């Protein structure tokens, strides 16, 4: 048993920093229409949005020892709508990015879509 533990200890010592320094990206989904404010749907043509270049918005926050605020999906969507000067996003894609390094971590929402003009 002692021999097994002596072989396992160096491997665990090498793997421990990798467990403390990690990150991931999660796909939250695709949405036909994404808006954070009231939108009059009678005047929206989502087919036109297929020819408009996509814009991206994000909201990120840092945390220390897992204490701190969380990012807002609404703020990330508002940033994307403002970049495209639109009231909503067509064919929107939402992702969450996260990473941590010992006592610091970051969470970020990224929203990408074609803006629908006012």
On whether the CB atoms of residues 116 and 87 are closer than 8 A, the answer is: yes
**Is the pLDDT score of 10 beyond 90?**
no
> Does domain 22-117 fall into CATH 3.30.110?
yes
* Domain residue limits, the chain: 22-117
Confidence band, pLDDT 50/70/90 cuts, at residue 105: very high
Paired residues of 100 in beta bridges: 22, 105
pLDDT digits (tens, 9 = 90+) for 23-34: 889 999 999 999
Q: What is the rounded average pLDDT for all residues in the chain?
A: 86
For 84-96, the pLDDT digits (tens) are 998 999 999 999 9
């Amino acid at each position: 048993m002692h021999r097994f533990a002596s072989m396992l200890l160096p491997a665990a010592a090498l793997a421990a920093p990798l467990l403390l320094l990690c990150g991931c990206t999660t796909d939250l989904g695709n949405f036909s229409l994404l808006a954070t404010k009231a939108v009059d749907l009678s005047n929206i043509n989502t087919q036109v949005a297929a020819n408009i270049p996509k814009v991206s918005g994000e909201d990120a926050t840092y945390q220390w020892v897992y204490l701190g605020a969380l990012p807002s999906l609404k703020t990330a969507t508002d940033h994307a709508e403002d970049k495209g000067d639109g009231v909503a996003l067509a064919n929107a894609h939402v992702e969450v990015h996260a990473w941590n390094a010992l006592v610091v971590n970051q969470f970020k929402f990224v929203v990408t879509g074609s803006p629908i003009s006012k």
